[in-house]
Amino acid sequence: MDNQFSGGCSTNDTLVALQVIADDMEPEFEPGNVVVVDPTGYATHESFVIALYDDNHELRQLLIDKSSGEQRYFLRTLKTGKLEELDDLERVKGVVVQRNGKRINGKRNIKHYR
């Protein structure tokens, strides 16, 4: 599996900026978007996260299923809907807090996540 990001383009104490290079998280994240990641952030259900997968850092959506009485964790790819179950959150390395997209009509396209 290809690494989804080009190297970290800037850091600021705990925040890291990464550029998306794959299309498997479209339409929310397109190649060329820059995501700001908080490695100390708290991941919740439907958070966008950076997870370690086959020695690559991948952008995925975290799903937490509590329906069975136990918490189960899944990583979802938006484009295909593919789910991968996690044993725990150890592979989650950071939470996306901002996406900088391509300009629309000359205006900055920034989205913040909680």
More confident residue, 104 or 110: 110
Length of the chain: 114
Confidence band of 13 (pLDDT split at 50, 70, 90):
low
The CATH number covering residue 90 comes to: 2.10.109.10
pTM of the model as a whole: 0.83
Distance separating alpha carbons of residues 90 and 98, to the nearest angstrom: 22
β-pairing, 34-38 vs 48-53, is unpaired
Q: For the chain, how many structural domains are there in total?
A: 1
Q: How far is CA 91 from CA 29, 57, 83, in A?
A: 21, 9, 15
Q: Is the pLDDT of residue 5 over 50?
A: no
* pLDDT on residue 15: 93
Name the nearest CA neighbour of 110 among 102, 96, 100: 100
Distance separating alpha carbons of residues 97 and 30, to the nearest angstrom: 16
Q: What is the pLDDT of residues 49-103, one digit of tens each?
A: 999 988 889 999 999 999 988 899 999 999 999 999 999 999 999 999 999 987 7
Among all chains, which residue has been given the structure tokens 């339409």? 27
Q: What is the pLDDT of residues 24-38, one digit of tens each?
A: 999 999 999 999 999
Residues 6+ apart with CB under 8 A from 85: 72, 73, 74
Task: Give the range of the structural domain holding residue 92, as residue numbers without chain letter.
Answer: 5-104
